[in-house]
């Protein structure tokens, strides 16, 4: 049945693109932090989960309407970003990579514990005010939640690209990322931009949390989407927003195809496995990714 094959492929492809754009949104939070502060955030998934919990909790417990809950989540995550930068990350400036990696891993544990303690272990729903009726494009059915997610991702990816290319703050951030010393010499307050980068990552994570929470529901399993961030950013390049988009799309498509074609033979789980195999290949052949800056010493 070649016709059926073709439709199946198309469905996998569109789903891959939709999911990929939503991965890109989460990866964007990661890239922002890496770009501005050189820190790698292993707690990105937990950021997303925490934001989801704030939004879902606000709506569930106090009955706040969706927009209020979303605003609360964004505000909460900005505060969290500022706070964490001040308490945890700032003392670690200039320390070895493993210190920052472990600190964010510790952070991930704390966030997971606090979120489950505060909001309970059950799954909560975020009700995004769009219809449940899927859109039909030929053989492809798209749930509106995914479309909203993909749309939000695109808007914010474009906004941040503009921000880094044109705005004064964005240019200052690039300068900080390039060389902290030179940036200081030019009169840039490096610490303030570090804090700002974490706050911006907080905003992006909040959006990610709302979108992903709207699709999957919010519980501590939501943090697992964070594991997908690494293949995305390695593929695209750790410090490239465009890379986050392209990497997200590739990971989304690859995992959907892998799940569609291989799952029946190996009994499931290929979705979580295939992106990592791809990532290992990229690490071996071109560690800086597609759009990343070459900055790897070979020793």
Residue ranges binding other proteins (CB under 8 A): 40, 88, 91-92, 95-99, 101-103, 105-114, 116-117, 120-121, 227, 230-231, 234, 238, 266-267, 269, 272-273, 276-277, 279-280, 283-284, 287, 296-299
CB-nearer residue toward other proteins: 114 or 169: 114
Per the listing, tokens 């106090």 go with: 62
* Residue 229 C-beta: closest distance to other proteins, Å: 10
Joined tokens for residue 36: 């501005």
Q: How far, in Å, CA of 11 to CA of 9, rounded?
A: 5
* Residue 107 C-beta: closest distance to other proteins, Å: 6
* Residue 130 C-beta: closest distance to other proteins, Å: 33
Among 260, 288, 289, 290, CA closest to 274: 260
* Residue 273 C-beta: closest distance to other proteins, Å: 4
CB-nearer residue toward other proteins: 68 or 92: 92
* Residue 110 C-beta: closest distance to other proteins, Å: 4
CB-nearer residue toward other proteins: 170 or 243: 243
CB-nearer residue toward other proteins: 2 or 96: 96
* Residue 46 C-beta: closest distance to other proteins, Å: 10
Q: Concatenated DSSP letters for 119-172?
A: H-SS-B----SS-SPPEEETTEEE-HHHHHHHHHHHHHHHHHHHHHHHSHHHHH
Joined tokens for residue 193: 């931009």
Q: Is 233 exposed, middle or buried (0-12, 13-18, 19+ CB in 10 A)?
A: buried
CA distances from 109 to 27, 47, 105, 120, 235 (A): 20, 11, 7, 16, 26
Q: Classify residue 267 as left (phi > 0), alpha (psi -120 to 50) or beta.
A: left
CB-nearer residue toward other proteins: 146 or 256: 256
* Residue 236 C-beta: closest distance to other proteins, Å: 13
* Residue 43 C-beta: closest distance to other proteins, Å: 9
The C-alpha torsion from 113 through 116 and 121 to 123, rounded to 10°, is -130
Q: How far, in Å, CA of 219 to CA of 95, rounded?
A: 34
CB-nearer residue toward other proteins: 18 or 201: 201
CB-nearer residue toward other proteins: 93 or 242: 93
Q: Is 140 exposed, middle or buried (0-12, 13-18, 19+ CB in 10 A)?
A: middle
Contact 108, 45 (CB under 8 A): yes
CB-nearer residue toward other proteins: 96 or 138: 96
Please tell me whether residue 218 adopts helix, strand or coil conformation.
strand
Q: How many helices (H) and strands (E) does the chain have?
A: 11, 2
């Amino acid at each position: 049945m070649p016709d059926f094959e073709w439709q199946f492929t198309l469905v996998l492809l569109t789903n891959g693109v939709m999911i990929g754009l939503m991965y890109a949104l989460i990866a964007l939070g990661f890239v922002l932090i890496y770009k501005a502060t050189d820190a790698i955030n292993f707690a990105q998934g937990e950021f997303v989960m925490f934001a989801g919990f704030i939004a879902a909790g606000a709506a569930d417990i106090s009955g706040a309407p969706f927009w209020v809950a979303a605003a609360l989540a964004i505000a909460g995550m900005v505060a969290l970003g500022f706070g964490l930068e001040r308490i945890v990350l700032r003392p670690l400036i200039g320390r070895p990579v493993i210190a920052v990696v472990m600190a964010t891993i510790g952070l991930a544990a704390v966030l997971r514990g606090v979120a489950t303690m505060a909001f309970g272990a059950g799954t909560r729903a975020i009700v995004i005010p769009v219809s449940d009726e899927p859109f039909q494009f030929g053989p492809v059915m798209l749930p509106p939640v995914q479309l909203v997610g993909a749309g939000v991702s695109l808007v914010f990816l474009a906004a941040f690209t503009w921000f880094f290319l044109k705005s004064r703050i964005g240019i200052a951030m690039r300068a900080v990322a390039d060389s902290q010393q030179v940036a200081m010499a030019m009169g840039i307050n490096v610490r303030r931009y570090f804090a700002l980068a974490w706050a911006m990552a907080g905003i992006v994570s909040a959006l990610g949390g709302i979108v992903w929470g709207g699709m999957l529901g919010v519980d501590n399993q939501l943090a697992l989407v964070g594991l997908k961030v690494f293949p995305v950013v390695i593929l695209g390049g750790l410090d490239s927003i465009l890379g986050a988009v392209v990497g997200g799309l590739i990971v989304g498509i690859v995992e959907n195809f892998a799940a569609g074609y291989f799952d029946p033979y190996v009994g499931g789980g290929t979705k979580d496995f295939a992106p990592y195999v791809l990532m290992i290949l990229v690490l071996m052949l071109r560690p800086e990714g597609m759009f990343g800056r070459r900055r790897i010493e070979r020793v």
